Amino acid sequence: MFDAVISLEVIEHVANPLEFCQSLSALAVPNGATVVSTINRSMRAYATAIVAAEYILRWLPKGTHEWSKLVTPEELALMLQKASVSVEEMAGFVYNPLSGEWSLSDDISVNYIAFGVKKSGTPSTDGAEARLP
């Protein structure tokens, strides 16, 4: 069990995101932090993270992301809640192509990160064992 469990840009690639969230929760101690970043399932995210990044700029191999596997902030919050993790904060990531730097933003329409806390007194969620998907 860990004080913090961090999953960056993974959940949009797994077959069962709810089970994945349950696995993350099972790895965290009660009141432990869970951090998840991903890409929103929005038209803006499709245009920038898939079309631009994969097909135009070729920063990523074509087909890296599947539209149907992208997760909205509301869906992520609900899955984490079902896994006994209370989402405390969400923020967006914005890339500045002129500086080549990423920064936090209030804009969660493309890339975003969620910070949650595992509810105290909750055992491993629904008997799920900590395992990698």
Kindly report, residue by residue over 48-95, the tens digit of the pLDDT. Answer: 999 999 999 999 999 999 999 999 999 999 999 999 999 999 999 998
Could you tell me if 70 and 59 are in contact, meaning their C-beta atoms sit under 8 angstroms apart? no
Structure tokens at 46: 């499709």
97 pLDDT band (50/70/90 cuts)?
A: confident
State the Cα–Cα distance between residues 59 and 17, nearest whole angstrom. 25
Residue with tokens 């920038």: 48
Using DSSP's 3-state secondary structure scheme, residue 45 falls into: helix
State the Cα–Cα distance between residues 46 and 60, nearest whole angstrom. 14
Kindly report, residue by residue over 99-125, the tens digit of the pLDDT. Answer: 999 999 999 999 999 999 999 876 554
DSSP label of 113: E
Structural domains of the chain, ranges and CATH numbers in brackets: 2-122 (3.40.50.150)
Long-range residue pairs from 86-91, CB within 8 A, at least 24 positions apart, any chain: 86/116, 86/117, 86/118, 86/119, 87/114, 87/115, 87/116, 88/115, 88/116, 88/117, 89/114, 89/115, 90/114, 90/115
